[in-house]
A = this chain, B = another copy of it.
Amino acid sequence: MPNLSWLKGYSGTTFGRDMTAATVVTIMLIPQSLAYALLAGLPAEMGLYASILPLVAYGLIGSSRTLSVGPVAVIALMTATAVGDVARQGTVDYASAAILLALMSGIILIGLGLLRFGFVTNFLSHPVVSGFITASGILIALSQMRHIFGTDANGATLPELVGSLGASLSDFHLPTFLVGTCVLIFLWLCRGFMTSWMMMLGLSRSSAELVTKAAPVLAILATILTAMSLDFEAMGVALVGQVPRGLPALSAPHIDWVLVEALALPALLISLIGFVESVSVGRTLGAKRRQRITPDRELIGLGAANVASAFSGGFPVTGGFSRSVVNFDAGAETQAASIMAAIGIGLAALLLTPLLYFLPKATLAATIIVAVTALIDWKMLARAWRFSWADFLAVTATILLTLLLGVEVGVISGVAVSLGLHLYKTSRPHFAVVGSVAGTEKFRNVNGHNVSTHPMIISIRVDESLYFANATYLEEIVFAQVAQDQDVRHVVLMCSAVNDIDLSALEALETINVGLEELSISLHLSEIKTPVMTTLKRSDFLTHLTGQIFDTQFEAYSALQDLEFSS
């Protein structure tokens, strides 16, 4: 089962590169892990725990060599929403529900992988995923504003968050606000200018970009030191506080079946969204080095990572975009980089936790806000608007429904909307009555082309595979055409664009065949593709067909013209 192909030919050079990448990723992962634990409403140490064993589990099983697994923003938000529905934040039940959620996600992912059901994520279209992530980014940023304002606000939707934040403003805490704002400004400045500063100091562009990613660590160190020296605790600035020192204890998650039922749908959604995010990162990075990732193995790898997270006191994890890119850019060559990063985080859990006592929550909130603003992609809206109304509707609906009704309803509605639109589009496919282009064997739409037709022959080209969603429309098209014209003796369906046919469409063809027969019209087919012909031969339709099958539309038209001329 483990995928250790990368061990073959593992050399000192590879080790060096993996080690460098692991160091960079560890430095980046520490603040991220703490921040996303905060976002999920969990104690800071759970963020660290979710970044140790899951990395090892994925490294041993997953198929991407450079994917970096751990807590990510959107999944942390979905965890907060799901667990917030079944337990109160800050309680033991809340933490154990998050652990159970990781276990369930892991089992779902492994199950999907073993059943080779990776294809289900194809139902999540780009506009839906993009809209969902944009809306999640907004919800995440808003949910963190309370830590910047030093107030107590909550909510899972835009109206709830805005309302609760507004109501809580009376508790506004200036010192906290100053800390949060300073960090925000610092991080934004770093993002905007740090790479060029570093390059002016003589670093290469790629090194400068890597150093820029360490800005949150600088902010954390700086605010910890300030908090210690200025005694933020006495001022009432919320700090992370006591974080247990040491590695996570391994223990089997407690399984409460009532909770399992309540968390089933969220666990499924977290699995799917996490997988889509992770696999798209993995595929993008893999393509750069001609390495392929195997979706079904990815499911099992991510599932194992989540199970490992559950057994070591973590919460749901997946492959993160920004940190995988850092891992890749820092030179990681194999999964060993992930495993070494896990060791790095483990050392941090052993050695650095006392320092975290003084870390202001506002600092973590600021790093989250800056990170998630990168997720918000308004350009997608403009792009979809220009490209097609259906994609625009899908992205808009997903954004609005996620903002207004929360992440779970949002993503489900987005999928439903995009499926509905796809079916709507294919249920009324483009079709054309075609005529012969003089002097050629070509046939073109009678509207817009100078073509000749025969009064007794109607040739119809349907530009879509025939299946249940457009089967009745096909009947309507054909009968509408013959209803207009009493002279017609032959209908030719030109099937050059028909890639597939299902039983509903076959029955529509039979209805058309019988219906035309009652009007003394023959039905002919032309240009049927080989796989479609194979399918048709499995029924008795061809034996009942009143007309003929022609290889080309030209043959059909010529033969039927001759037939009508001679009769």
Known: A387-B503, A503-B384. Is A515-B127 also a contact (CB below 8 A)?
no
Most chain B beta-carbon neighbours within 10 Å: one of A423, A427, A503: A503
Q: How many Å lie between the Cα of A472 and that of B121 in the bound state?
A: 10
Q: Mark A503-534, 1 if CB is under 8 A from B, else 0.
A: 11011000100010011000000000101000
Which A residues between 415 and 437 are near B, CB-CB below 8 angstroms?
418-419, 422-430
Known: A122-B473, A499-B430. Is A518-B288 also a contact (CB below 8 A)?
yes
Known: A386-B538, A502-B390. Is A290-B122 also a contact (CB below 8 A)?
no
Q: Is A480 an interface residue (CB 8 A)?
A: yes
- CB <8 Å contact, B539 and A507: no
Nearest CB of chain B from residue A282's CB, rounded to whole Å: 11
**A287 is contacted by which of B125, B424, B518 (Cβ under 8 Å)?**
B518
Known: A419-B423, A465-B464. Is A292-B479 also a contact (CB below 8 A)?
yes
Nearest B residue to A117 via CB reads: B424
Q: How many Å lie between the Cα of A470 and that of B473 in the bound state?
A: 24
Contacts of A499 in B (CB 8 A): 429-430, 463-465, 497
Nearest B residue to A290 via CB reads: B483
Contacts of A287 in B (CB 8 A): 475, 479, 511, 515, 518
Nearest B residue to A518 via CB reads: B288
Known: A506-B387, A518-B287. Is A425-B122 also a contact (CB below 8 A)?
no
- CB <8 Å contact, B122 and A387: no
- CB <8 Å contact, B122 and A423: yes
Nearest CB of chain B from residue A210's CB, rounded to whole Å: 20
Which A residues between 536 and 564 are near B, CB-CB below 8 angstroms?
538-539
Q: Mark A440-479, 1 if CB is under 8 A from B, else 0.
A: 0000000000000000000000011101111111011001
Q: Is A119 an interface residue (CB 8 A)?
A: yes
Known: A463-B529, A464-B499, A539-B383. Is A472-B122 also a contact (CB below 8 A)?
yes
Q: Is A356 an interface residue (CB 8 A)?
A: no
Q: How many Å lie between the Cα of A128 and that of B469 in the bound state?
A: 12
Q: How many Å lie between the Cα of A388 and that of B125 in the bound state?
A: 27
Q: Mark A108-132, 1 if CB is under 8 A from B, else 0.
A: 0000000000010111111110000
Which A residues between 389 and 422 are near B, CB-CB below 8 angstroms?
390-391, 418-419, 422
- CB <8 Å contact, B482 and A290: yes
Q: Is A283 an interface residue (CB 8 A)?
A: yes
Nearest CB of chain B from residue A180's CB, rounded to whole Å: 36
Which A residues between 159 and 204 are near B, CB-CB below 8 angstroms?
none
Which A residues between 311 and 333 are near B, CB-CB below 8 angstroms?
none
- CB <8 Å contact, B122 and A383: no
Contacts of A430 in B (CB 8 A): 499, 531
Contacts of A122 in B (CB 8 A): 423, 427, 468-473
Q: Is A373 an interface residue (CB 8 A)?
A: no
Contacts of A233 in B (CB 8 A): none
- CB <8 Å contact, A292 and B480: yes
Known: A425-B500, A468-B418, A499-B463. Is A387-B535 also a contact (CB below 8 A)?
yes
Contacts of A471 in B (CB 8 A): 122, 125-126
**A126 is contacted by which of B383, B504, B518 (Cβ under 8 Å)?**
B504
Nearest B residue to A480 via CB reads: B292
Contacts of A497 in B (CB 8 A): 497, 499, 529
Q: Is A207 an interface residue (CB 8 A)?
A: no
Nearest CB of chain B from residue A66's CB, rounded to whole Å: 15
Q: Is A284 an interface residue (CB 8 A)?
A: yes
Q: How many Å lie between the Cα of A424 and that of B500 in the bound state?
A: 13
- CB <8 Å contact, A503 and B383: yes
Q: How many Å lie between the Cα of A265 and that of B529 in the bound state?
A: 41
Which A residues between 247 and 290 are near B, CB-CB below 8 angstroms?
279-280, 283-284, 286-288, 290
Most chain B beta-carbon neighbours within 10 Å: one of A128, A465, A515: A465
Contacts of A473 in B (CB 8 A): 122
Nearest CB of chain B from residue A276's CB, rounded to whole Å: 9
Known: A290-B483, A423-B419, A430-B499. Is A504-B127 also a contact (CB below 8 A)?
yes
Q: How many Å lie between the Cα of A482 and that of B476 in the bound state?
A: 44
- CB <8 Å contact, A388 and B502: yes
Q: How many Å lie between the Cα of A428 and that of B121 in the bound state?
A: 13
Nearest CB of chain B from residue A308's CB, rounded to whole Å: 26
- CB <8 Å contact, A427 and B119: yes
Contacts of A292 in B (CB 8 A): 476, 479-480, 483
Known: A425-B500, A500-B425. Is A284-B511 also a contact (CB below 8 A)?
yes
Top 9 A-B residue pairs of the complex, sorted by shortest distance between their CB atoms: A125-B468, A126-B504, A287-B515, A391-B503, A122-B427, A122-B469, A125-B504, A463-B499, A126-B507
List 11 A-B pairs, Cβ < 8 Å: A119-B428, A122-B469, A125-B467, A126-B503, A127-B503, A283-B475, A287-B515, A386-B538, A387-B535, A390-B502, A465-B465
Given contacts A122-B470, A422-B467, 12 further A-B contacts (CB under 8 A): A119-B428, A124-B468, A126-B507, A127-B468, A279-B472, A283-B476, A386-B539, A387-B503, A387-B538, A391-B504, A419-B423, A425-B500
